[in-house]
Structure 1
Amino acid sequence: MHINYDFGDLEAFLAVKETGSFHGAAAALNLSQSAVTRRVAKLEQALDTQLFERTTRAVNPTLAAKRLQARAEAILDDARETTRAMRDESVAFAHQRGALVTVATVPTVLSRLLIPALQAFRAADQPARLRLLDGSANEVAEAVAGGEADFGLCSLPTLEPSTLFEPLFDDRILLALPGAHPLAGQEAVALGDLKDAPLILPARGTGNRLLIDDALARARQPIVWTMEVGRSTSALELVGQGMGAALLPETVFSAPTQKVAKVRLQGLDIARPVGLLIRVGAAETPAVATLKQAIRTAV
């Protein structure tokens, strides 16, 4: 059964019943008299019954109006209670609604970029909770394109048509050496000088490995590697334990340490662009916008 009346029609009916006139009902509802008349007529048509007998001197409720009154009041009371409950719930959970920021990021930028940005974010009294999805540049791209993350922070991935990349800085690829290595104190080292140190490279298919292979091919400089490692942080740990030398992004070197020395590559200038990965058309909450700006400022 189709219901062709609304709460406003019931309110107009009850106001006329209470005041005994359409003029009084209009004043009580802050409406025009014609608007109240239309609403009552609409309700009468929907219920297929006459609710008021109109004369030049009075407006008298019919038996149907008397029967309807209790039901109309109950309907409106339920509607008001529902509205109050929803508003109270909205206020109670306002700190949670829309206050979750999900960032997909490559782990190597945590120390240099993301942690300072988060410190500024918290200092600005932002109450939003944060979810970090750490993974490779391709995994970050998939999370952003698929809507799992509000935005990403990574080296330039293979862009999806639905994403945009905003460059922030160039992250140089450096040579990580064990602190006790004879070449650790040098300003720059050629890869050919590493005859006594096993070479650790990023795993094939990763963005860092593609950059390194391309630079070596252009320089016509073949190398022999000993280990391939998926995560830069794992490669750094291997270097710290004296297992070899590794080609790593500068952002991996979070703090000076005696276990690992970073040295510039002689004759090779390799850098990866790092920036924000954004989904085209994605809604941006104030918390997301604030964190993005904190990241830009932290560069």
Structure 2
Amino acid sequence: MRINYDFGDLQAFLVVKETGSFHLAAAQLNLSQSAITRRIQKLEDALGTLLFERSTRQVRPTLAAKRLQGRAEAILADAWETTQSMRDDSVAFAHQRNAVVTVALVPTTLTRIFLPALSRFQSDGAQARVQLLDGSANEVAEAVSEGLADFGICPTPPSEPSVLFDPLFQERISLALPVGHALRHEKNVCLAHLHSEPLILPAKGTGNRLLIDDAMAKASVQIPWTFEANRSSTALELVAQRLGVALLPDSVTDDPRIVMRPISDLKIARSVGLLTRNGQSETKAALTLKAMIRESV
């Protein structure tokens, strides 16, 4: 059954019954007399009964009005208690909401960029809890854009117009080799070396793959890949198991099973920075953690 009246209608009814006047009820509720009349008519139509007998001299409540009074008072009292309780809870837990910093980041920025700043953040006595949302560059930008994260750490500028990108540094994309590989002694690896190696590339559509494909296109070279991996951690494990060599950012690992070597004739770099939603009001804890990230890098 559809309910076609609201709390305002019930409130108008109770004030009219209490004052015995549409005019006085309008003054008390700071509404026009015609607005009070419409609310009473709406309530009467919804209930299918007459609530007041009107005349030029007086407004008399009907039997239905007397029956409705107790129920209307109970409904409004429950509504007021619910509203007050929600407001009290909001105040009570405000400090907890403000004490949580949510950071969206790509996993490759965790070890060398975020964790040193987080360690300092905690050692300086910060009480805020930190929630991490890890995902691809697009997922990080989306989390910031939708307000799910206070800020993000992302390797490439996002396409969302609602997100601001604050560059922190540029880092090179190099060749990841297993520690015993013959090329580990090379100071710089040439592209020619890669034609005979099982090559591991980031998956199509990822930020790093776009940079690699663009650099190869500009250099007019094409090197067939053997493996594609959506996450850098997967590519690193393939390298560690001596299944191939991978093009990856320098900062992705400090694994002793892997060595990184620059490529002399293919210059690829990515920009790593902080993402913030345009116009967002930032908490003190979020601002402090962002400042420590800048200092760390």
Report the TM-score, using the length of structure 2 for normalisation.
0.70
1:46-195 to 2 correspondence within 5 Å?
Answer: 46=28, 86=88, 90=91, 93=93, 95-195=95-195
Query: Which runs of structure 1 show a deviation greater than 6 angstroms over 4 or more consecutive aligned residues?
Result: none
Q: Hey, what's the Cα distance between the residues in 2 that align with 1:97 and 1:110?
A: 24
Aligned residue for 1:227?
Answer: 227
Unaligned 5+ residue runs, structure 2?
1-10, 16-23, 30-76
Q: Deviation at 1:186?
A: 1.3
Q: Deviation at 1:46?
A: 5.0
Structure 1 counterpart of 2:104, one-letter code: A
Q: RMSD of the alignment, in Å?
A: 2.7
Q: Deviations over 1:167-213 (max 9, x none)?
A: 00012101001111111121110121134420000001111001001
Q: Deviations over 1:147-178 (max 9, x none)?
A: 11111101124321111100000121010011
Q: Hey, what's the Cα distance between the residues in 2 that align with 1:95 and 1:185?
A: 55
Q: Hey, what's the Cα distance between the residues in 1 that align with 2:114 and 2:28?
A: 61
Q: Would the aligned equivalents of 2:101 and 2:150 in 1 still touch at CA under 8 Å?
A: yes
1:238-249 to 2 correspondence within 5 Å?
Answer: 238-249=238-249
Q: Hey, what's the Cα distance between the residues in 2 that align with 1:213 and 1:195?
A: 16
Q: Hey, what's the Cα distance between the residues in 1 that align with 2:170 and 2:272?
A: 6
Mark the CA change 1:158 to 1:86 in structure 2 (over 3 Å): closer, same or farther.
closer
Q: Hey, what's the Cα distance between the residues in 2 that align with 1:188 and 1:168?
A: 26
Larger Rg: 1
Structure 2 counterpart of 1:169, one-letter code: F
- Tell me which moved more, 131-140 or 193-202: 193-202
Q: Deviations over 1:60-85 (max 9, x none)?
A: xxxxxxxxxxxxxxx9xx99xx79x9
- Report the count of equivalent residues: 226
Q: 1:267 aligns with which of 241, 260, 265?
A: 265
Q: Would the aligned equivalents of 1:101 and 1:130 in 2 still touch at CA under 8 Å?
A: yes
Q: Hey, what's the Cα distance between the residues in 1 that align with 2:112 and 2:178?
A: 22
Question: Taking every aligned residue pair, what percent have the same amino acid on both sides?
Answer: 52
Q: Would the aligned equivalents of 2:197 and 2:245 in 1 still touch at CA under 8 Å?
A: yes
Q: Deviations over 1:78-125 (max 9, x none)?
A: 99xx79x949x946x465131111111011011111001101111221
Mark the CA change 1:256 to 1:203 in structure 2 (over 3 Å): closer, same or farther.
closer
Structure 2 counterpart of 1:217, one-letter code: A
Q: Deviation at 1:282?
A: 1.0
Q: Would the aligned equivalents of 1:176 and 1:261 in 2 still touch at CA under 8 Å?
A: yes
Partner SS for 1:169: strand
Q: Hey, what's the Cα distance between the residues in 2 that align with 1:161 and 1:97?
A: 27
Q: Hey, what's the Cα distance between the residues in 2 that align with 1:152 and 1:278?
A: 7
Q: Deviation at 1:2?
A: 4.6
1:192-231 to 2 correspondence within 5 Å?
Answer: 192-231=192-231
Unaligned 5+ residue runs, structure 1?
6-41, 48-74
Structure 2 counterpart of 1:139, one-letter code: E
Q: Hey, what's the Cα distance between the residues in 2 that align with 1:205 and 1:114?
A: 25
Partner SS for 1:183: helix
Q: Deviations over 1:22-63 (max 9, x none)?
A: xxxxxxxxxxxxxxxxxxxx9xx859xxxxxxxxxxxxxxxx
Aligned residue for 2:283?
Answer: 285
